[in-house]
Amino acid sequence: MSKISVGILNVTGYAGVELARLLANHPHVELVSVTGRSAAGQKLGQVFPHLAALDLTVEAELAEVDFVFSALPHHESAGQLLPFIEKGVPAVDISADFRLRDAALYEEWYGFRHPAPLLLSEAVYGLPELYRSSIRSSKLVANPGCYPTASILALAPALSAGLVAGNIIVDAKSGLSGAGRSLNLRSHYCEANEDVWAYAISSHRHQPEIAQEIKAIDPSIGAVVFTPHLVPMTRGILATCYAPLKAAMTTEQIAALYADFYLDKPFVRVTAEPPHTKHVAGSNMCLVHATVDVRSGLLIAVAVIDNLVKGAAGQAVQNMNLMLGLPESSGLPRIAQYP
């Protein structure tokens, strides 16, 4: 059987290049076309030597394909995807351009007017652990952000069971690759090494996305407070979430609830001990650990992911698999790289 042809808009960012790496080993699809303005006309292996085995030239325009991924920055992505969407080509957008359901939030949080607001109601939020059936029947999937992926997966079982009341606090840490490949003073080695800092306090663009999805599970939840931190590592996100429980519960009860919720989810594993970011590096796994602080009555849930795999490219491939009727885990690593 012939393979499904796929293309990547903007292969030159970290998400795009990771997507190319994963698709190169996919048994059912073939990466046939990639774009990247800064590298147009060059062989992909010239730009990224680790991808030299892929005999592809970076183009200015994407060729005709059966499936398209966009790894373009927000604001640019929606406009470049529109011609493919209008032709009926199924697409996964790794940017934020189709994640928020309220078009006004793009002006508030991203500073632009959405070019296709009517499509926001058609796009499916691409978190397979919550929306698997909707993803399967969709032709436009909005790949979740990296921080939202970890935060929502940490809290989803408790929220779905109606166990949480009041405000939720999400304290999350990310490696430097989350800042992208563009030159930025804060990600220079001498600036970032041996340093940890909180940034975009109360103003990070993933906050409305996290709040939207948490309230979609349980509309009674109060405010969602999200604070991200930058740590001097290349890959990984660790999200620690604090939520008041409505009634007293034991850690054993919570652990059983979480294990049952994720029983049929191939890329989430509930752990007995708090996980490390190294435990998921290079894989599409999310490791979740939940416990109860009996003194405060708080649920404390921790999730770790590789921000470039489950937080971006890997989840995009997972969504593609579902959209094309392929086995959900096709082409995706579940074993982390170590050390």
User: What tens digit of pLDDT does each residue of 139-189 get?
Assistant: 999 999 999 999 999 999 999 999 999 999 999 999 999 888 877 888 889
Q: Which residues are catalytic?
A: 146
Contact 145/315 with Cβ under 8 angstroms?
no
The pLDDT of residue 1? 66
Residue at token pair 């997507």 = 19
Q: What is the pLDDT of residue 271?
A: 98
Q: In what order do the strands lie in the sheet with 29-35?
A: 58-59, 29-35, 4-9, 67-70, 91-93, 140-142, 124-125
Torsion sign, CA atoms 84, 87, 89, 94? positive
Q: Which amino acid is at 122?
A: E
Using a 10 angstrom Cβ sphere, with 0-12 exposed, 13-18 middle and 19 or more buried, the burial of residue 27 is exposed
73's torsion region: left (phi>0), alpha (psi -120 to 50) or beta? beta
List, in sequence order, the alpha helices (H) in 25-136: 44-47, 76-86, 104-105, 128-136
Q: What does each of the 339 residues of the chain score in pLDDT, given as a tens digit?
A: 699 999 999 999 999 999 999 999 999 999 999 999 889 999 999 999 999 999 999 999 999 999 999 999 999 999 999 999 999 999 999 999 999 999 999 999 999 999 999 999 999 999 999 999 999 999 999 999 999 999 999 999 999 999 999 999 999 999 999 888 877 888 889 999 999 999 999 999 999 999 999 999 999 999 999 999 999 999 999 999 999 999 999 999 999 999 999 999 999 999 999 999 999 999 999 999 999 999 999 999 999 999 999 999 999 999 999 999 999 999 999 999 998
d(CA 239, CA 206): 13
Centroid of chain to Cα 177: 13
Burial class (CB in 10 A: 0-12, 13-18, 19+), 254: buried
Q: What is the pTM of this model?
A: 0.97
What pLDDT sits at residue 266?
Answer: 98
Instruction: Report yes or no: 20 and 14 within 8 Å, Cβ to Cβ.
Output: no
State both tokens at 15: 């998400």
- Per-residue pLDDT tens digits for 96-123: 999 999 999 999 999 999 999 999 999 9
Contact between 172 and 165 under an 8 Å Cβ cutoff? The reply is no
Relative orientation angle of helices 314-323 and 14-24, to the nearest 10 degrees: 50
Residue ranges of domains in the chain, CATH in brackets: 4-122 (3.40.50.720), 146-309 (3.30.360.10)
